Structure 1
Amino acid sequence: MATRVVPQKIIKNLRFKTTTKPLNSSHPSATAAVASLLEREQPSPPQPSHQQPSYLDLNDGERLFSAVPTSTLIRSSAVLHATAIGPVVDVGIWAMQSKLLQTGILKDAVMAVTKRTFYEHFCAGEDAITAGKSIRSVNEAGLRGMLVFGVEDAHENDGCDRNLKGFLHTVDVSKSLPPSSVSFVIVKITAICPMALLERISDLLRWQQKDPSFNLPWKQDSLPIFSESSPLYQTTKKPEPLTPQEESDFQLANQRLQQLCKKCVEANMPILVDAEHTTVQPAIDYFTYSSAIMHNKDDNPIVFGTIQTYLKDAKERLFLATKAAEKIGIPMGFKLVRGAYMSTESTLAESFGSKSPIHDTIKDTHNCFNDCSSYLLEKFANGKGSVVLATHNIESGKLAAAKAYEIGIGKVNHKLEFAQLCGMSDALSFGLSKAGFRVSKYMPFGPVEMVMPYLLRRAEENRGLLAASGFDRQLIRRELGRRLKAAIF
């Protein structure tokens, strides 16, 4: 397969030196040139929520949950109410992590309780076949599934090879399901490339951003990974080149990803690369963008990257990547999320004596997500590319739906997909689906013990969101009351 490359002059033309006017007001080092270009392409702001089209109804519980069995609603209500209580989440995390409960009868008891509660609510099943049944179920309810082999980080090649087999099997399972019921196969680069190697590659890429003359002989053509406001504090000194063993491991990791990408191309199944913390995200972006250049053709992006909009440089990086892809005719796919490593990022930055790369306020993060959403919707409306808006925020969902409706790419269009985690923000998922949008649920699967790190991470990451799940809890409680009355009377 011929590889389309990004000429170096394009990359150079996307670098700007002045810093008089920031693109993002929360980060004063953003460049004026990027800001000026973005202002010229800036979409008109979406309408306030009180002017949203009436077709997006999030208040009619009977209509929203019409396809959900009562038993599932009861479990959802119990789990959401439990996870809204901080001490309950703390005890649950302690129980799953405690070494005292990792053997014998106590371990079996913890696993059994976890499986019947949090696992069944937030996961799709213990294997790909069971996950396929779960996807059929959500598909019957009008939603699609993102099939997620629920492994976390790998640290050696044997583990990476095992994980690759799981991802490849995931593609096979998705092909066996009803057409379009699976929207994406999800891959974590940290599961098919050793973490230490990703950290080394990220260090080398950061140093090349500081010193463009720094040569990386293994580097293939990619899209811009950094902007001039991107924090580089994690690489304080010039890193050593990759050792022969590291270069060999790097080639193996790339071969794993390309094998998976080629299988997805053959199945016409988009593959979405999850984002991670900034220690390894540059390497992940490199793998993603170089693969997108190789495999994304015509108006059909197969390889999708992820932008975490709680990062101050997110808007600039997104703009630079889309402009570079546009210049060489590559259709890009992006998933937008707010982000999932807030405490980790802030703590790490503080250890280096630097400011946090995270927006200073949640309002700034919301604004960044909404601005990036609006920008991509307008850019892809009449051009190449697709966007996945992964949000649990009702206001962001309403704004994006209104924008999509306004520019005519909303109703079941391959250029736009909304997404929420399995077991979370179901009212928003069903509301958007019933309004005619494509909506996916992020559905991890795997044995309970294998998926346990995922559940722990989600519990830590989404404390605030779980505590603020009152909208769903209220709607579910109201619908259960209505069904009880209907059964009695």
Structure 2
Amino acid sequence: MEKRTLFDNTETAFVLKSDSELERAYFLFKMIANEPLVRIGTAVTNFALKAHLPVQGLIRATVFDHFCGGVDEEDCMPVIEKMYAKGKVSSVLDYSVEGKEEEEQFDHVLNKTLEILDFVDQKDAIPFGVFKPTGFGRFLIWQKKTEGTPLTAEEHKEWDRIEERFDIVCKKAYDCDVPLLIDGEESWMQDAADELVAKMMRKYNKEKAIIYNTLQLYRHDRLEYLKKLHEEARVYGYKIGMKIVRGAYMEKENDRAAEKGYPTPICESKEATDLNFNTTLNYILQNINEISVFIGTHNEESSYKAIELMEQQGIAKNDPRVWLGQLFGMSDHISFNLAAEGYNVAKYLPFGPVKDVMPYLIRRAEENTSVAGQTTRELDLLSKERKRRKL
């Protein structure tokens, strides 16, 4: 198949969608395309949930079911099995409850992550586990560690508990032989997370990559960080696991840098970010014997680039060290067409109680409106598939 038209195949892209699901997707992206509407919808939804108005059913039937797998693991299974059986696409179960601050909530997320690792062990359709560093401890503690601010005695205990949670879950992943993706977050807490994840890699990645960190490549310093980590990995004799994404907190990063008067860590332009992503991807694939990669991208050019670089390096389409991933509910034209060609593809499948997952869903809707062309491309493909089916 001609490479550059691979993602235009809408029949393969929407193989899983019934006519009514196709219509719902079209309606949702039409709404998302209208930025003021997203703002109003977000505010109204937040208010309705806080006021305990009966909107959960409506949210569940529309935006939740489009972007999420379900309210718990079992609820997600029909979606997971359908994607794997019909589309050859795997899933990453992502417990998407954000912004918690209490110790018992962190223990709950730890237990949830351990449960998921047990749940996915032996399931070919779910090849990875995943969690966010701030799911295991307060943002402020991460920030203080990153900034080198001394911790109080009580905070030292909190940090010890964070390290312990990390070690428990990383050991579990190692014992289950399930690779574990650790998400990236804001730059002013990320150094502490990077150090702790590297410590886990040293311990658990001796034979192969089990523990994966995340590089957000809208940050111009990340390739340099990877190269330093690579040198360290060679010295200590461990493999690197890396998920690469463009990043999810750009406006927040730029606003904070402006407010505090330091240079923004974000690349100066979209072109610079794209170049940084593709250069880093190239560096990883040239060092595939030492660095395994999960390529998280909704960008068609980067996906074509991955195909091209894998061919150049003689890396098999189904090499277990290379995965490509997109979010559930977005970029099906990339996921399902790549999977149909034999590449390893996984959808990030968020799940959790409807009201707890709303912050995540709102961020997704806002991201879609801020990424130029993303929503337009989704709408074009959905329109094309609607026409094809009518014919």
Calculate the TM-score normalised by the size of structure 1. Answer: 0.76
Residue of 478, 482, 485 corresponding to 2:384: 478
* Other-structure match for 1:173: 119
Cα–Cα, structure 1 residues 379 and 53, in superposed 2: closer, same or farther, change >3 Å?
Answer: farther
1:150 lines up with 2:59 in the alignment = no
Cα–Cα, structure 1 residues 123 and 447, in superposed 2: closer, same or farther, change >3 Å?
Answer: same
Equivalent residues of 1:56, 1:431 under 8 A apart? no
- Cα distance in structure 2, aligned partners of 1:401 and 1:195: 37
- Cα distance in structure 1, aligned partners of 2:63 and 2:39: 14
1:416 lines up with 2:325 in the alignment = no
* Other-structure match for 2:273: 365
Give the Å deviation of 1:469.
2.4
Give the Å deviation of 1:146.
0.9
Calculate the TM-score normalised by the size of structure 2. Answer: 0.95
1:392 lines up with 2:298 in the alignment = yes
Residue of 132, 137, 153 corresponding to 2:82: 137
Cα–Cα, structure 1 residues 73 and 321, in superposed 2: closer, same or farther, change >3 Å?
Answer: same
SS for the counterpart of 2:162 is: helix
- Cα distance in structure 1, aligned partners of 2:70 and 2:58: 15
* Other-structure match for 1:73: 22
Q: 2:18 is matched by which residue type in structure 1?
A: P
Equivalent residues of 1:295, 1:302 under 8 A apart? yes
* Other-structure match for 1:196: 140
Residue of 43, 51, 75 corresponding to 1:94: 43
* Other-structure match for 1:183: 127
Question: In the TM superposition, what are the counterparts of 1:212-227 in structure 2 within 5 Å?
Answer: none
SS for the counterpart of 2:323 is: strand
- Cα distance in structure 1, aligned partners of 2:316 and 2:298: 18
Equivalent residues of 1:56, 1:432 under 8 A apart? no
- Cα distance in structure 2, aligned partners of 1:97 and 1:63: 36
Percent identity of equivalent pairs: 29
Give the Å deviation of 1:67.
4.1
* Other-structure match for 1:306: 214
- Cα distance in structure 2, aligned partners of 1:329 and 1:341: 33
Give the Å deviation of 1:290.
0.8
- Cα distance in structure 2, aligned partners of 1:397 and 1:274: 20
SS for the counterpart of 2:121 is: helix
Cα–Cα, structure 1 residues 75 and 326, in superposed 2: closer, same or farther, change >3 Å?
Answer: farther
1:163 lines up with 2:109 in the alignment = yes
Which structure has greater helix proportion?
Answer: 2
1:404 lines up with 2:313 in the alignment = no
Residue of 352, 359, 365 corresponding to 1:459: 365
Q: 1:312 is matched by which residue type in structure 2?
A: H
- Cα distance in structure 2, aligned partners of 1:341 and 1:281: 12
Residue of 144, 151, 166 corresponding to 1:257: 166
* Other-structure match for 2:185: 276
Give the Å deviation of 1:53.
5.5
Q: 1:343 is matched by which residue type in structure 2?
A: E
- Cα distance in structure 2, aligned partners of 1:357 and 1:288: 21
SS for the counterpart of 1:272 is: strand
Give the Å deviation of 1:282.
1.0
- Listed one character per residue, the Cα deviations across residues 365-422 of structure 1 (whole Å, up to 9, x for unaligned) are 0000010011101111xx2231111111111111111111221214111111111111
**Superposition CA RMSD, Å:** 1.8
Task: Give the count of matched residue pairs.
Answer: 390
Give the Å deviation of 1:314.
1.3
Gaps of 5+ in 2: none
Equivalent residues of 1:305, 1:333 under 8 A apart? yes
Structure (1 or 2) with the larger CA radius of gyration: 1
Residue of 191, 198, 201 corresponding to 1:289: 198
Give the Å deviation of 1:285.
0.9
Give the Å deviation of 1:183.
2.3
Q: 1:244 is matched by which residue type in structure 2?
A: A
Deviates more, 1:302-311 or 1:254-263: 254-263
SS for the counterpart of 1:93 is: helix
